[in-house]
Amino acid sequence: MSLVGDEEGGSGQGHGHAHADATGGVLTDIDHVGIAVYDLDAAVGWYRDMFGATVAHRERIESDGVEEALIKVADSYIQLLTPVTDTSPLAKFMERNGEGLHHVGYRVDDCAEVLESVKGAGARVVDEHPRTGSRGTTVAFLHPKTSFATLIELVQE
């Protein structure tokens, strides 16, 4: 039996990217897990009481109508999120789904390049172009419709 030749195929990955990471393709890390909560202070307190975790960064992101508290875990974050306006997409999400997992942020080296790549490969997107996220990052969201009901955020530091 051959030990070479059959390693490709399968998942349909790869659109010409030459990234060195063979495990996640152009995804270099899990940047954060976004969790929707009604009461940000209560959620921060819970993570402190349960896990001894403290907030590394807190920011109100007016363009998204949210306030976030980031808890750093190794090189990634838990992003606790609460809406600050009734009309924000997060508020609408929570009207339907309540609290809980909201999105996952995947770190990439080049947000614009990956966004164009996934659009070309048929993924539906929320953001046609990269925009500024929290911590001065560059971000773009993929629509859950074509990604297994998962809202995906591409994050470039």
Q: Which residues in this chain contact Co ion in the complex, by CB under 5 A?
A: 34, 105, 153
Q: What is the DSSP string of 21-63?
A: -TTTTTEEEEEEEEEE-S-HHHHHHHHHHHH---EEEEEEETT
CB of 139 to Co ion, least distance (A): 7
Among residues 5 and 148, whose Cβ is nearest to Co ion? Answer: 148
CB of 103 to Co ion, least distance (A): 6
Among residues 105 and 130, whose Cβ is nearest to Co ion? Answer: 105
Among residues 67 and 153, whose Cβ is nearest to Co ion? Answer: 153
CA atoms within 13 A on the CB side of 115: 20
